[in-house]
Amino acid sequence: MGRNGQQGIKGGQRCVFLSTQGGQREGEQEDDPAEVISSSLAVLRGAMIWGFRIIESPIFIDNDLLHGYYYYINRKESSGFCIDDKSMKYAIITNPSSGEMSAKKKREEIEKASRILHAPVYGFETNSREEFIDLAKKVSADCDVLVVGGGDGTFSDVINAIDLPSNKIAFLPLGSGNALRNALGLEGTISEISRTILAGRVHNYDLIECSSRRLAFMVSVGIEGVVVRLREKYLDVGIKGLQSYLIPTLDAYMRNYKRVSASVAIDGVKFGVEDLMSIMVVKQPFFGYKMKVVPNARFDDGKLHVMVINSSFAELLFGTVSSFTIGNLIGDYYTGEDVFVETDEELYIQIDGNVGWKAESFEFKIRKGILKVVH
């Protein structure tokens, strides 16, 4: 290009970089005025549409002629106006039964996301979990980014249904606990999160392989399996929100959960646990309702984060309060890549907010970078 620019290739895209230094290089031609004006108007239009500050955020220009263009700042060297070789094709799949939002409100929120992402919507017509999972497989084969509208359990069902190496995924939080919303740092309304997805980049995250049966981002063996099962009963009688978690937790502790002994091996190092309350194996810090139960957990560090809790009732109360504020301060914390748990009685496993199977032994392995999330 001319005086203030140079042309190059970046990340498979054709980019025009706006140099921060003036002066024309020898042998270069003058800028085409029409091209300069067209590019400048496109950038200005993008800034006006979304109201972002250009120097801080990506701008997506929502226009039939300019679809796929966005403006960004290369903070190290220069600013650029990049042209996608291929516009991303989004599709939204939603679970009609997830969360506590009414069907009408959920449809309104999903329609907002659909307009922003130019994405068709699937899932409202499904009548069972099996139908939803089968639909997710089909839809994922015909889009570049599959956007999941639902809760933690819905997201979990989708990542276990689709071919993860071949698919990118995004998340619209419409559930109740919303651990994943906090883990991904998704802030604002559904419309704002949709724009974040549109201007986002791909993040590679780890997952937990559970006894070669299922992938997850948070699992636990112990009282949580009982709590989740009891919670369904309380939801059926109209108890919602945080109470629908705290009340069954107290019920489980007082009447329904019997502490057991367990043997744990982390990367081959074995130890015993008496009076087990919970063994949590996670890839991110949060459980539902912003409870930061494993504060040091990270989605992309290639490790399993393990919290072993066998505390007294008073300590559990303290841990609960700290989890809602500064982060959990009780339990024994470990990291590793392979975790084996064996108990002296069968227990249910909790997987991403849902009840899994019942067994006396469980094995957890790290699956590094297998999940590709756009945000």
The predicted-structure confidence for 229-258, as pLDDT tens digits, reads as follows 888 888 778 888 888 888 888 888 888 899
The torsion angle over the Cα atoms of residues 134, 135, 136 and 142, rounded to 10 degrees, is 120
Domains of the chain: 5-83 (no CATH), 90-200 (3.40.50.10330), 214-366 (2.60.200.40)
Cβ atoms of 178 and 169 closer than 8 Å: no
> Hey, what are 220's tokens?
């636990």
pTM for this predicted structure: 0.75
CB-count exposure of residue 75 (10 Å: 0-12, 13-18, 19+): exposed
Cβ atoms of 124 and 94 closer than 8 Å: yes
Cβ atoms of 145 and 151 closer than 8 Å: no
Tell me what the pLDDT averaged over the chain comes to: 80
Q: pLDDT tens-digit profile of 259-308?
A: 999 999 999 999 999 999 999 999 999 998 889 999 999 999 999 999 99
Q: How far apart are CA 59 and CA 9, in angstroms?
A: 19
Cβ atoms of 362 and 350 closer than 8 Å: no
Q: pLDDT tens-digit profile of 173-208?
A: 998 888 999 999 999 999 999 999 999 999 999 999
